[in-house]
Structure 1
């Protein structure tokens, strides 16, 4: 009876360790994209929304900024969660 309890305890500890590792702070990368339209008063917020729409909520954009980039375009720069292969 003791061996199954030890096995269950060790399994639980290993699973808890994996879960804690998955919750580690993400690595952030600066990503820049050009979108149609101007920056306006809330350009950073619009860039945030643009990144959410393009890359999904998993990208967790933050610290977005907006700069005019030619005629009727804006250059958005946001910190996003780094993705391998992107």
Structure 2
């Protein structure tokens, strides 16, 4: 499953690079697979369905910090594997 996600991300990166839509350093170098969506119930979306960044940043702080490590650059990292195994 993670390999499929990585393949799709790479396709998007190729398209973006081909069309010169964004500088390469704007593209994500690490991806976190999350175990739940952003909803009004978990307060990650407000009543107008806008993302509540402060709530998300607070809740996922350890995970966001992890994304800046060398290990997180591999989509098959331990955290992503744990999330995928819990939903498969």
Question: What is the TM-score of this pair, normalised by structure 1?
Answer: 0.27
Greater RCO (CA < 8 Å, at least 6 residues apart)? 2
Flag the structure with higher strand content. Answer: 1
Flag the structure with higher helix content. Answer: 2
